[in-house]
A and B are shown apart, each in its own frame.
Chain A
């Protein structure tokens, strides 16, 4: 198989259908850009979740009566509970937040920027609690099971559940990006099929002569396949450039506040570099398969 012949046929084909080639490149670029954006959201969510999961705690709320009766956790019930918690495997540290301290935290930190809500908080309303830091993810469930029914325990909050609910928002963003990418992908596939058929029709005389003189099916089809793959690769390149530029100019600006407060993990150049090869693989793969299947039905033996 002569590479120079195939190359010249590919270049000729792309030149002949310039407008369709450009349409295919742009559609593929948008589709792959959205797909890449979805992948970046997944990476960001995973990294952010890791950050949070390292900081999450179990909050053991103390029964109101016990807390009111024992504000500084000195008496037997509260002390027994504290010892029970400390003795559990995986417990790294433990802080007791009394009802007064909880009120102070609410006023000065939690609702510091929301005075209307801060005014609603009254002393003695918020429960006392133990904030338990766990050093081993796997011990979370065990610790909760061991203490949730202990005397003096009102309820137990697993902050992992809070984090997971929060990150379901990011999952939603990722799913939305993938969904739009899928719609675009359908458009791209149809465009590729159309482009291949138009290319084959435009070169029908060459194709018929090739078949008549005994060119193999591969020799006949390969230029069209390569045209589709090359267009997809160019589209993937545009998508990658778009991800770099979009991340630097748009995403970083939009997410700056979250990054500054360490609420979300930053999407870095490394993330974009790690995601980029997938755009080429998926783009070229889709284009090759679509072109091949189109030609199977279009170019006879």
Chain B
């Protein structure tokens, strides 16, 4: 699903590379945690997958897309096959829950009848069945993140990228969110989750990829947070 071959990313203003000679593969249907301190390269990794940045050297593949060679016109197609969830939820405050989820389908030109059918389904899937008409300001942190997840999976992406989705949530709510992500993964979607949450990583025992100063220092098939330091 994801292949990086000798990828180096050097930002202009920086003395050291954000990612250095990284080679990595994440298979279809996998669930992988991405851990490491701030500045270790996790966000850069995500940005490269989304083609928000182009690597200084090396190649990035996502599914059938050779991402760093992708023309500008095809970048929307790549991004339609990905779902993204962020720590700050990034909901539209003036739209209802249903409208927030539907927005992601509207802007890629999905017909009205498809949107009307899909939105209730995904809201049910993430456990927000009765909250379609609520505004984001009326929701808890966990509920907001569920809306964000619903939006991310509405178009049935092959890959879900979650950049510290539990960063603003309490432990119980965090566990609920990771449950949702786990369910999504079991349904076939590849999930890569960047996190600082030791408890979640340790409890799930999934693949753990650790970055440190732009290098991959660990890749455990069923790892825990602290092992290998």
Contact = CB atoms under 8 A, between A and B. Distances in A.
Given A209-B103, A301-B72, A301-B75, A214 B92 contact: no
Interface in A177-229: 205-206, 208-217, 219-220
A212 B103 contact: no
B79 A2 contact: no
22 contacts: A2-B106, A5-B107, A206-B103, A208-B90, A209-B103, A209-B104, A209-B107, A209-B151, A212-B84, A213-B80, A213-B84, A213-B151, A213-B155, A214-B78, A214-B80, A214-B108, A214-B155, A215-B108, A217-B76, A220-B107, A301-B51, A301-B75
Contacts, number: 56
Interface of A: 1-2, 4-5, 205-206, 208-217, 219-220, 301
A219 B107 contact: yes
Contacts of B5: none
B107 A213 contact: yes
Interface of B: 50-51, 72-73, 75-82, 84, 90, 92, 103-104, 106-109, 111-112, 151, 155
B78 to A, nearest CB: 7
A225 B223 CA distance: 51
A81 to B, nearest CB: 79
A214 B76 contact: yes
Nearest to A206: B92
B72 A213 contact: no
A5 B107 CA distance: 8
Contacts of B109: 1-2, 219
Contact of B79 (A5, A206, A213): A213
Majority SS at the chain A contact face: helix
Nearest to B103: A209
B92 A209 contact: yes
Nearest to B161: A212
A213 B108 contact: yes
A211 B75 CA distance: 9
Contacts of A209: 90, 92, 103-104, 107, 151
Contacts of A301: 51, 72, 75
Nearest to B102: A5
Contacts of A214: 75-82, 108, 155
Given A213-B84, A214-B81, A215-B107, 5 more contacts: A2-B109, A209-B107, A216-B76, A219-B107, A301-B75
Give 7 closest A-B pairs by Cβ, nearest first: A214-B80, A214-B79, A215-B107, A214-B76, A213-B104, A210-B107, A216-B76
A211 B79 contact: yes
A295 to B, nearest CB: 14
A215 B107 CA distance: 6
A19 B50 CA distance: 37
Nearest to A4: B112
